[in-house]
Chain A
Amino acid sequence: MTPVGSPKPVDALDSAGQQPTATVSAPQSGREFAPARPIWQVLLIRPETVTLALLIGAIIVGSQLSRFFLDISYILESSTLYSEYSIVALMLTLVIISGEIDLSPASMMALSACVFASVFQAGAPIWLAILASFACGLAMGAFNAILVIGFRLPSIIVTIGTLTLYRGLAQVLAGDRSISHFPDWFVGIDYREILDVPVPVILFTVAAIIVGLFLGMTIPGRQIYQIGTNEIAARHAGIRVQRIKAGLFVGMGLVASLAGLITASRLASVRYDMATGGELQMVLMVMLGGTYIFGGRGTILGTFLASWLLVIIATGMTVANIVVTSQLIVMGVLLITSIIATNAIYARSQR
C-alpha cells in the first residue's frame, strides 16, 4: 500500500514538448535521417528516469544503513513532515514550466496560517477561519500575479519582495506568540490514516493525480508548455498567456494556504516563522524531478518521484544520525547538482 511505485496517469512521453526522435546521420549523406531512437533510449535520457534511479538507489542505501529503514509505515509517517511542501511543489512545477518562478510560497503558508489562527482566536467559527485563510491565499497569489503579469516585473525579484512582505505581515499579525488551542478534530492530520496511509500523503497523491491530469490532458495544461517554450510564439498562436500565468500564480496562493492549514493541523500551533526556508525544499523537489529551470519542460511525475526521493534521503539521514544542520549542506548540493544534471540531459536530447 505504498504510493512510491504507484502508476501515474500522465504518459511518460507526452511532456517534453518535442521528442528527440530524428537526428541527422552522417553529414555527407545530406538529407537522410537516422532511424528514430529506440524507446528504451528515449526513456533513458529522460530526467524522470534519473530521479527514479536515484530513488531506488536511495532506498537501497537507506536499507543498508539500518535494518529498521525499510519499514513502510515509518517512511509514510516521516513523509508527513514533507507533504505540505510536496503539494506546493506540484503547483510550483507548473509555474516553472511556464517560464516563471515563485519564491514566496513558504511565506504565503505562514501568512495564511496566521490569518487562520488569528480569525479563530478572535472567536470566529473554524470554518470561517479556514475560509479566511483561503481568501488570504487568493489575495496573495493575486498580488503576485498583478505585479508579475500586470506590471511585467520579473517574477524572480518580485517574489523575493513578496517573500519578505508576506513573512513580515505574518509577524505583524502574530507577533512572537504561538497560537494554538484549535479544536480536536482539526489537530493532528498526520495521525489520521485511511487504510494505514496518513491523510497528508493521500492528499499529496490525489493532488499529484489531479495536477498531472490537468498538465498532461487538458488544453490549458498543454498550453503551459508552449508558453514556457516560447512565450511570444504562444501569444501569436492565440494562447491566453497572461490569463494562464495569472491563474498559476493565484493557484500557488490557494495551494500554499492549503499547505499552511495542513502544517497548522500537524503542529497544532501557528507561529509567524512557520516553514522558514521552505522555498528551498520546494524548488529542490521541482528541480530534482527534472523540470527545466528555463521553462517548457518537466512533468508532475518527476516532481512526485522527487518528493519521495527527498523523503527517503531525509529519513535516511535521520536514521543514520546525521545532524539536521548537515542536511542543509545536502539540500544545497542536491539543488545545484540537480539543475546541472537536468540541463546536461536536455542539452543532450536537443542535439
Chain B
Amino acid sequence: MMRLTAGIGALMRHREAGNFVMIVLLAIVVGLIQPRFLTLETLRNVMLAIPLILIAAMGQMMVIIARHVDLSMGSILGFSAIVAGMMFRDMPDVPILIGVLVAILVGAGLGFLNGAIVTLFGLPSIIVTLGTLSLYRGFVFLISNSRQVDPQFIPRALIQMSQTSPILGIPWLVIIAFLTALASYLFLDHMRLGRQIYALGSNPSAAPLRGIRVVPVTLLVFTLSGALAGLAGVMYAARFGYVNPGITGVGFEFTVIASVVIGGVSINGGVGTVLGTILGVILLGMVNVALPLLGVSEFWQSAILGAVIIVALLIDRSVRISGQQALAAERSAR
C-alpha cells in the first residue's frame, strides 16, 4: 500500500507536468467520444468558464500556502458584486473603472476583517471564515433588500467584456484573469513578501524566528484574497449580466478550493505554484464543459467536484510521502 502510493507520488511529483498530461488526455478521450469537443466553440466555452475561478483561485492559493483557508470567498464575491451592481443601478454615470475599484476595495475590506479576527485572537481560519461566510451573506441580503440587480442596470460595456476582445479573439475577461495570474506569479516568486508567505506556511512557528512578521503577512494574505474575490465579483456581473443576493457566489468557495488543491497547492501549507493552479482551474473548467457534451447530467457537477477534492488530497499526500522517502533515501546514500 505504502509502495503503491509512493509510486503514484513519484509520478505526480511534478504536478504541473501531471496536470498538463491530464488536460491533454482529457481532451483526446472526450474528443474521441464526442468530436464536437475539439472545436473552437469548446475552446471559447472553456475560456469563459475559467476567468472568475482563476482570479479567486489566486487569492485562495495564497491563503492555503500560508496554511489557512478562506471559506467566506463566495460571500465576499456576492457582496462586492451586489455593491458594484447597485452602484451601477443607482448612479448610472459612474465610470466602470470606479465600479471595479469599489468592488476590489470592498472585497479587500471584508478579507482584512477575516485576517484581523484570525490573527488578533489566534483562531482557526476555517471556523472564523465559516462564520463570516454566513455574516457576509447576511450583509448581501441586508444591503440589497433581498432584491436582484437586473440586467438592464449593468453597463453594456461591462457585459461586453466577455465578448469583445483586444487581440486574437481572446475576451477581455480572460485577459484580465491571466494578467491577475501573472501579477500573482511575480508577487509570489519574485518579491520578498511573496516568498515570506511560503516560509510562513511551511513552518508557522519557525517563521518569526526568521524575521517574518507573522501578523502583517497573514493580514496581507487574507486582504489579497478578499480583494481578488471582489474583482471576481464585478467580473461575475460582467459574465452573467445580473447580480442576485441568493445566487451570486453561493458555493463558489468549494469550486475554488477544488481547483486550487487539484493544482497541487498543499493543504499543509508552503507548497504551490501559480502555474499549477492555472492548470488546475483549466482542468476543472474542461471537465465542466465536457460533461454536458458527453451527455452527463448537470446534477453530477457537485459530486464530481467533491470527488476531485478528495482525489487531489490523496495525491497530495502520496506526493508528500514519496518526497519524504526520496529525502530519506538520499540521506542514507550519503
Contacts and interface: CB of A to CB of B under 8 A. Distances in A.
B61 to A, nearest CB: 14
A329 B121 contact: no
Contacts, number: 141
Interface string A335-347: 1100110010000
A118 to B, nearest CB: 13
A328 interface: yes
Contact of B134 (A156, A169, A331, A339): A331
Interface stretch (A158-166, A196-204, A243-251): A158-166
A280 interface: yes
Interface in A238-265: none
25 contacts: A153-B317, A156-B126, A157-B257, A158-B313, A161-B310, A165-B302, A167-B306, A168-B303, A169-B303, A175-B299, A277-B134, A283-B127, A293-B124, A293-B127, A294-B124, A323-B141, A323-B146, A325-B141, A329-B135, A331-B134, A332-B134, A336-B128, A336-B132, A336-B135, A340-B117
Contact of A328 (B135, B301, B307, B309): B135
A154 interface: yes
A287 B127 contact: yes
B317 A165 contact: no
A12 to B, nearest CB: 25
Nearest to A175: B299
Interface in B115-148: 117, 121-124, 126-128, 130-139, 141-142, 146
Nearest to B113: A336
B122 A160 contact: no
A325 B139 CA distance: 9
Contacts of A160: 71, 254, 257, 309
A156 B297 CA distance: 29
A98 B261 CA distance: 26
Contact of B141 (A163, A326, A343): A326
A164 B254 contact: yes
Given A161-B306, A283-B130, A343 B142 contact: no
B146 to A, nearest CB: 6
Contacts of A294: 124
Given A166-B306, A168-B304, A325 B146 contact: yes
A237 interface: no
B117 A336 contact: yes
A332 B135 CA distance: 5
Contact of A165 (B127, B142, B303): B303
B10 interface: no
A14 B101 CA distance: 55
Nearest to B304: A168
Nearest to A156: B126
A157 B69 CA distance: 9
B305 interface: yes
A168 B302 contact: yes
B118 to A, nearest CB: 10
Top 3 closest A-B pairs, CB basis?
A165-B306, A332-B135, A168-B303
B132 A158 contact: no
B138 A329 contact: yes
Given A171-B299, A328-B141, A157 B305 contact: no
A168 to B, nearest CB: 3
Nearest to A171: B299
B267 interface: yes
Given A164-B309, A336-B128, 16 more contacts: A157-B267, A161-B258, A161-B306, A161-B310, A164-B306, A171-B302, A280-B131, A283-B127, A293-B127, A325-B146, A328-B135, A331-B131, A332-B133, A333-B135, A336-B131, A340-B117
Contacts of B131: 280, 331-333, 335-336, 339
A343 B138 contact: no
Interface of A: 101, 103, 147, 151-154, 156-158, 160-169, 171-172, 175-176, 277, 279-280, 283, 287, 293-294, 323, 325-333, 335-336, 339-340, 343
Interface residues of B, number: 45
B314 interface: yes
B240 interface: no
Contacts of B142: 325-326, 329
Contacts of A166: 306
B250 to A, nearest CB: 9
Interface in B43-89: 69, 71
B305 A164 contact: yes
B313 A172 contact: no
A276 B192 CA distance: 42
B187 interface: no
Contacts of B146: 323, 325
A172 B126 CA distance: 28
A165 B310 contact: yes
A229 B142 CA distance: 41
Contacts of A103: 130
B306 A332 contact: no
Residue among B71, B134, B267, B303 with the most chain A CB within 10 A? B134
B138 A332 contact: yes
Given A165-B303, A168-B304, A343 B134 contact: no
Interface string B259-271: 0010000011000
Contacts of A101: 126
Given A325-B146, A331-B134, A164 B314 contact: no
